[in-house]
Amino acid sequence: MSHNTFGHLFRVTTWGESHGPALGAVVDGCPPGIRFTQEDLQVFLDKRKPGQSRFVTQRREDDIVKVLSGVMPQEDGSMITTGTPVSLMIENTDQRSKDYGEIARRYRPGHADYTYDVKYGIRDYRGGGRSSARETAARVAAGALARQVIPGVTIRGALVQIGKHRINRANWDWAQVNENPFFAPDPEIVPVWESYLDEIRKAGSSVGAVVEVVAEGVPAGIGAPVYGKLDQEIAANLMSINAVKGVEIGNGFGAAEITGEENADEMRIGPDGRPMFLSNHAGGILGGISTGEPIVARFAIKPTSSILTERRSIDADGHEVEVRTKGRHDPCVGIRAVPVGEAMLACTIVDHYLRDRGQTGRLK
């Protein structure tokens, strides 16, 4: 059962709400002997951290990750994993002691308030509780550790669409991604998104987005038909991110529109004498198993439901009410979802790598 856990051999369990003392992740199954530093993890938490630009929420969270177990501290300040559970904790520091009285009983449209109340009969309304995107900080910490496991694998993400404004894929340049506040790989889209998001932000509105994540260097043969398919678990793990409403691999929904001739990836023997694909419509996965080509996934994030416009709703007592969500919110949560998507992809691939190693013994 995996309500708050994902993965099988590389297992991540997260815990914590936005307004308790802390939140965290327990990573069970991290292979022993991996040397890393706190900074190796912190750099990814900083990417996700709020308050980095005017296009994301202005909350202030330091998001310092602490490693509580599973490592032997080394003299140079680094740590080496011992194969036992790595407990990662992030303390909550910016919990404004505000009056939640209003939303404690009112269901914000588009939020999980109503469904949590139906399911559990009780709900931590403070800051969204467990349904807060703050939970994703724990994922990013776990993902940062996952990145240390398989040598030669590179995992990167980028924002490719905000509202109806898509990047020009011809302009794709990974070097640009960290040079703008949107993780945009296309420098030409940046001013477009800036002016569009300024408009959205000033209107107290919000908008959706699409993120693309790519894993390069993943060996061929990772994955497990038929209910442990690599693409299936990537889909599951990306869909578990707050506000995600769609996931696709390679050509994705575009594959529905084309013919078998257009979609199939032909093969040849490469100059290095090894098998080579002439295209990657499959997004690096065939039959649920990696091909050795880059693994390419995209996910759609809905606009955050926290908007200043008044919307009709009900409260826990069955009264009809109007709700207007005040507070410091992200006009486009898709931006900060980029490092989260990378983290989920990293964890998924490591898990499959270890599983395949167990099942077939092929890999070291």
Query: Under rule CB under 8 A, which residues in 19-78 are in contact with its own copies?
Result: 20-24, 26, 28-29, 31-33, 66, 68-70, 72
The residue among 124 and 175 lying less far from its own copies, judged by its C-beta, is 124
Region of 52-60, 93-101, 178-186, 225-233 interacting with its own copies (CB under 8 A): 225-233
- Three-class SS of residue 354? helix
278 to 297, contacts with its own copies by CB under 8 A? 278, 282-283, 285-292
At closest approach, how far in Å is the CB of 134 from its own copies?
A: 11
| Residue 302 interacting with its own copies (CB under 8 A) | yes
CA angle 357, 89, 355 (to 5 degrees): 10
Of the candidates 304, 285, 154, the residue with the CA atom closest to the CA atom of residue 243: 304
Q: Which of 190, 263, 280, 328 binds its own copies (CB under 8 A)?
A: 263
The residue among 45 and 297 lying less far from its own copies, judged by its C-beta, is 297
- Three-class SS of residue 198? helix
Long-range pairs of 264-267 with CB within 8 A, sequence gap ≥ 24: 265/291, 265/293
d(C-alpha 354, C-alpha 232), whole Å: 17
The residue among 43 and 258 lying less far from its own copies, judged by its C-beta, is 258
145 to 184, contacts with its own copies by CB under 8 A? 161-164
**Integer CA distances (angstroms), 56 to 21, 48, 301, 342, 352, in order:** 23, 10, 15, 18, 33
Region of 43-51, 55-63, 175-183, 220-228 interacting with its own copies (CB under 8 A): 220-228
Q: 65 and 42 in contact (C-beta within 8 Å)? A: yes
At closest approach, how far in Å is the CB of 45 from its own copies?
A: 18
Position 262, amino acid: E
The residue among 175 and 342 lying less far from its own copies, judged by its C-beta, is 342
d(C-alpha 10, C-alpha 229), whole Å: 16
